[in-house]
Amino acid sequence: MKTILYYFTGTGNSLAVAKAISTRLPDTELVPIPKLMLAGEKVIVPDDTNIGIVYPLYAMGLPKIVVNFFTLLDLSHAGYVFSVVTEGGKSGSPTKQITALCEKSGHILDAAWWIQMPDNYIPFSAPPEKSVEKTIRENALRKVAVIVEDIKNRRNSIVGFSVLGNVLKLMYVPFIRNINNFDKKFVVSPSCNGCQICVRICPVNNIRALPHGKKEWLHKCEGCLACLQFCPVEALSCGGKTANRPRYHHANATVEDMLEQKGSIETN
């Protein structure tokens, strides 16, 4: 049974989970959501295919780019539809939101899971210590193995928010309403070396390179922090709050992974 995993990632956590699923599930294809959004064409899935959506939790809800992806996605021919959300805590899954999106796109949501991954939203707090990070990633792989068995058998498994998650989800509407202007918080320090990695990896092409190594943000930000986390000299901070906090991206995530997500692999 063919499976297609549509994914979005900012730091590599969701990509790592998508890859872990694909290596355990025969005949699985990974398809990046930013690449499809940049193309802007309708996405019609093959008949009776397993369709998975893998994405990070943003303020107890879906990233805006994932919500918008559903306007392109036709699920009417799918056989089994599931979502996997990665998150820094243990709040659960925003099933009401993604259930409504799936139904509008032509198919019910058959299963929804959440997987804890290392917390990476450094405007709020520093990422975990390396030893803790390693434990979290190992636990995530064990949970992936269980999820894969459910997918193979097309089991219905809907996991919603915990009580705390249901309280915290009140943050989502104001957060996502202003997300495109999130880039107004970014500050570039004099340590910037002009490498333009931030420009190249932004999943929505929100950063424009200017002469003399300067940059301009175009206010269509997704708040994924890929630009900040992957900067090799840590020249970007978020309103100054993150200047002294360690950066984070998944241990196996590379700049090339981020470029591939938007379909713009480059060779030097």
Per-residue pLDDT tens for 109-121?
999 999 999 999 9
Residue 265 has pLDDT above 70, yes or no: no
- Taking the complete model, does pTM exceed 0.85, yes or no? yes
Which tokens go with 228? 């900040």
d(CA 95, CA 73): 18
Average pLDDT over residues 34-39: 97
What CATH architecture applies to the domain 178-261? 2-Layer Sandwich (3.30)
Establish whether domains 3-172 and 178-261 are of one fold.
Answer: no
84 with 51: CB under 8 angstroms?
no
Per-residue pLDDT tens for 66-99?
999 999 999 999 999 999 999 999 999 999 999 9
3-172 carries CATH number 3.40.50.360: yes
Domain extents for the chain?
A: 3-172, 178-261
If one compares 268 and 164, the residue with the highest pLDDT of the two is: 164
Average pLDDT over residues 119-142: 95
Q: Which of 46-60, 140-154, 230-244 has the lowest mean pLDDT?
A: 230-244
Per-residue pLDDT tens for 181-197?
999 999 998 999 999 99
Residue 138 has pLDDT above 90, yes or no: yes
Q: What is the pLDDT of residue 268?
A: 36
